[in-house]
Chains A and B, each alone.
Chain A
């Protein structure tokens, strides 16, 4: 009986802890969003963050997308050949890339690269009193540090995903034509034939949401980090893990909203 009570207490503590953390993140996000529309604005910082999050993430997102498209073409060809459906390879590649793999893989890669960097930077600023210094210099740290990162990530992730979509399809095309011996014109025709605007738009909406999540979790974990180098390390890990889990969760929710019948 006592062991059962201990188990229930442990589960209860875990649930309360999770709800408390979720509430704390929601309040942090609401405060940050309230500052998005209130001056002063920092366009110079926004531009710098767009470069950092978007431009410098291009190589890693591009490589991920192109190889994913190549693997997808190869895998679907060998699978579909079992029931003579090889002709669907181009359609499967483009739909998978635009709806799912483009936004999700770009989101996860950027979460690893940018979410960690944001958490480490803000965490270091927190433990070295730089965030307190901002306050003493009449600068709101949320407005100065969090808002530019949130806005930049929300804007540039869809742009990255457009590039990922193009390169993913290109990867499938290269394998389809060079290795699987599809006719290039037929492959391209199959690519466009069943693609709808909603497929691309849903992927871009996902990307915007993922961008917001990545920056939010990076900023939240970094802003609240405590306890020196160890605290910054924990904040970095938590930022990447929580952003990755939330990306996968919201991926399902957005898919449900767009495509559930």
Chain B
């Protein structure tokens, strides 16, 4: 029986900013329909990796295939069609603070002309309910919400267009442990409901285990380990072991400039 093709296949991905190499000929396969998590320390290249996949940063070399098609070689219109099937939850939510909550949630639906404004608001309220927010929130502005509520709205926006691939950038950053667990549970529930592939980056190990079926570790721009989430504390890789246990001693040295 042949193995299912990966949702995302990355080969030889490189990106440098000036003399600083952030991604160094990185290879990665993300299995379809699973929760995939990339862990790594600050400055290890996690955010640049996700931005390269989303087309927000142009890599220097390499290929990124989504569903077998190299997105880096696509025309703009083709790329937009691929992006229409992708959802993204940004680290700080990145909600549009000039728009009320319901317009934030329905933004992609309106932008892609999937529905008109009169139909979009009830649909946004439905989606807000799926992430545990009542209709009274719909007309508020993002600045009137708590951090946890903003994260829920951002999640609602990410799933509104029923994407089959969803990216999560540090989904629990800035939240207390209880709210972090709630957001993770919502992520898992919504990803399962949509049957989507979830690609997350985080350095929160509790979160990584809750939302990930498979985990990869990035270090100095390369994937140095990849395996099932339940093997993360038993990886046999000294870099992974030091990172997941938060040990100051080990092969990973922090570059500190004084």
Contacts and interface: CB of A to CB of B under 8 A. Distances in A.
A125 B93 CA distance: 12
Contacts of B87: 136
B80 A138 contact: yes
Interface string B70-87: 000000000010011011
A6 interface: no
A196 B86 CA distance: 59
A132 B111 contact: no
B94 A128 contact: yes
A14 to B, nearest CB: 21
Contact of B90 (A121, A133, A138): A133
B96 A133 contact: yes
A130 B97 CA distance: 9
Contacts of A136: 54, 56, 83, 86-88
B84 A133 contact: no
B41 interface: no
B92 A129 contact: yes
Nearest to B154: A133
A24 interface: no
A226 B92 CA distance: 16
Interface in A118-140: 121, 125, 128-130, 132-133, 135-139
B115 to A, nearest CB: 14
B94 A130 contact: yes
* Size bracket of the A interface: 10 to 19
Contact of A138 (B51, B91, B98, B112): B112
B147 interface: no
B108 interface: yes
A130 B150 CA distance: 13
Contacts, number: 44
Nearest to A144: B111
A130 B96 contact: yes
Nearest to A139: B111
Nearest to A45: B98
B107 interface: yes
Interface string B29-61: 000000000000000000000010011100000
A15 to B, nearest CB: 22
Contact of A137 (B51, B56, B97, B111): B111
Contacts of B92: 128-129
Contacts of A130: 94-97
B107 A137 contact: yes
Contacts of B96: 125, 130, 133
A129 B111 contact: no
Contacts of A137: 107-108, 111, 157
Contact of A132 (B86, B94, B107): B94
Contact of A129 (B55, B84, B91, B108): B91
Interface in B99-126: 107-108, 111-112
A132 B80 CA distance: 14
A173 B49 CA distance: 66
A128 B95 CA distance: 9
A121 B97 CA distance: 10
Contacts of A139: 107, 111
B83 A129 contact: no
A35 B97 CA distance: 24
Nearest to B83: A138
Interface in A159-199: none
A121 B96 CA distance: 11
A70 to B, nearest CB: 38
Give the interface centre of A121, A125, A128, A136 by most chain B CB atoms within 10 Å: A136
A121 B111 CA distance: 21
Nearest to B98: A121
B56 A138 contact: no
A135 B55 contact: yes
A219 to B, nearest CB: 15
Interface in B198-234: none
Contacts of B157: 137
A132 B56 CA distance: 7
Given A132-B51, A132-B56, A138 B94 contact: no
Interface of A: 121, 125, 128-130, 132-133, 135-139
Given A129-B92, A130-B94, A138-B112, 5 more contacts: A130-B95, A133-B88, A136-B88, A138-B108, A139-B107
7 nearest CB pairs, A to B: A129-B94, A133-B94, A136-B88, A137-B108, A129-B90, A139-B111, A130-B94
7 contacts: A128-B94, A132-B51, A133-B95, A135-B56, A136-B86, A136-B88, A137-B108
